[in-house]
């Protein structure tokens, strides 16, 4: 087990090293100036500057706050609503068309309305993150409830479970194996959307750092912000992956 993990880690490091080498070669021989395509060395120096002066931490915390608020709000609203609609067949018939109509609309298309409704600041960004996570979670939850083995509900009826007991002891545990991949995907989408939203609706965060650095012609800072976005994205993804390893999560798939 540990040998496989070490091997995968080494292979990943080799790939990143190869990318760094290609990056260095392109910066040296492409003919582009450092202000257009900074070298890895200049980018590393810029990263050190952003870390030591606290700029990277400040903007990273701002982005994580917005993602956390919008994502949690989507989970709190989307999962219960998905369970209700998945269990309530009439509700599916009534609201399915509305959900399928709104779901394909890009969250970024809501930016003008979000700015009009909430102004400039955290609220429009949180709203956009909520939208980006809400519909994938809602649809996945509805689908997961629809696929629950009917035998579970028969057992619940035999034991005279109340609706609350059926929901908490049967439905929610049974859908977890299907919901966790949706949580992972929606979190990735939320992290993408926050960067785009911060380029327009707020004056802090990694997205704003990219825009502000571009305006200042500090392409090394732009690259540093992109690296931070990727690194934080990996960390967020690993958190969700660890949830999949909890043994109690997998009983519904048996």
pLDDT in tens, the chain (254 residues): 456 777 777 887 888 888 888 888 887 777 676 667 888 888 899 999 999 999 999 999 999 999 999 999 999 999 999 988 888 888 888 888 898 999 888 888 898 898 889 888 888 889 999 999 999 999 999 988 888 877 777 777 777 787 777 777 778 888 888 888 888 889 888 998 888 888 876 788 998 999 899 888 888 899 999 999 999 988 888 888 777 666 655 554 44
Are 91 and 2 contained in the same domain? Answer: no
What domain count does the chain have? 2
How many angstroms separate the CA atoms of 38 and 109, rounded?
Answer: 32
CB distance 173 to 251 below 8 Å? yes
CB distance 160 to 37 below 8 Å? no
Are 15 and 91 contained in the same domain? Answer: no
Are 155 and 86 contained in the same domain? Answer: yes
Q: Which CATH number does the domain housing residue 121 bear?
A: 1.10.3720.10
Closest CA to 134 of 179, 71, 192, 65: 71
How many angstroms separate the CA atoms of 8 and 103, rounded?
Answer: 37
For residue 36, the SS3 value is coil
Are 180 and 58 contained in the same domain? Answer: yes
Are 13 and 45 contained in the same domain? Answer: no
Taking the model in full, what pTM does it have?
Answer: 0.82
Are 93 and 20 contained in the same domain? Answer: no
Which are the contacts of 3, defined by CB distance < 8 A and separation ≥ 6? none
Angle between helices 219-244 and 172-198 (to 10 degrees): 180
Are 190 and 212 contained in the same domain? Answer: yes
How many angstroms separate the CA atoms of 139 and 153, rounded?
Answer: 21
- Domain span at 22: 1-31
Are 27 and 75 contained in the same domain? Answer: no
Are 43 and 18 contained in the same domain? Answer: no
């Amino acid at each position: 087990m540990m040998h496989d993990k070490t091997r995968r880690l080494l292979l990943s490091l080799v790939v990143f090293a190869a990318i760094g080498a290609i990056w260095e070669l392109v910066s040296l021989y492409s003919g582009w100036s450092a202000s257009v395509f900074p070298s890895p060395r200049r980018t590393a120096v810029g990263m050190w500057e952003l870390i030591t002066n606290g700029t990277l931490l400040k903007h990273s915390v701002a982005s994580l706050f917005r993602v956390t608020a919008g994502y949690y709000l989507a989970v709190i609203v989307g999962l219960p609503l998905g369970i209700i609609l998945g269990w309530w067949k009439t509700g599916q018939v009534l609201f399915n068309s509305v959900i399928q109509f709104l779901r394909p609309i890009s969250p970024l298309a809501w930016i003008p309305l979000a700015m009009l409704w909430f102004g400039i600041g955290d609220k429009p960004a949180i709203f956009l993150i909520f939208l980006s996570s809400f519909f994938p979670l809602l649809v996945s939850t509805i689908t997961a409830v629809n696929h629950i083995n009917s035998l579970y509900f028969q057992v619940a009826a035999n034991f005279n479970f109340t609706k609350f007991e059926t929901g908490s002891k049967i439905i929610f545990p049974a859908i977890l194996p299907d919901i966790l991949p949706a949580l992972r995907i929606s979190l990735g989408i939320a992290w993408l959307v926050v960067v785009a939203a911060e380029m327009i609706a707020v004056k802090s965060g990694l997205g704003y750092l990219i825009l502000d650095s571009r305006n200042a012609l500090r392409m090394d800072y732009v690259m540093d912000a992109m690296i931070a976005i990727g690194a934080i994205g990996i960390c967020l993804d690993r958190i969700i992956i660890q949830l999949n390893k909890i043994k109690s999560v997998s009983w519904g798939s048996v």
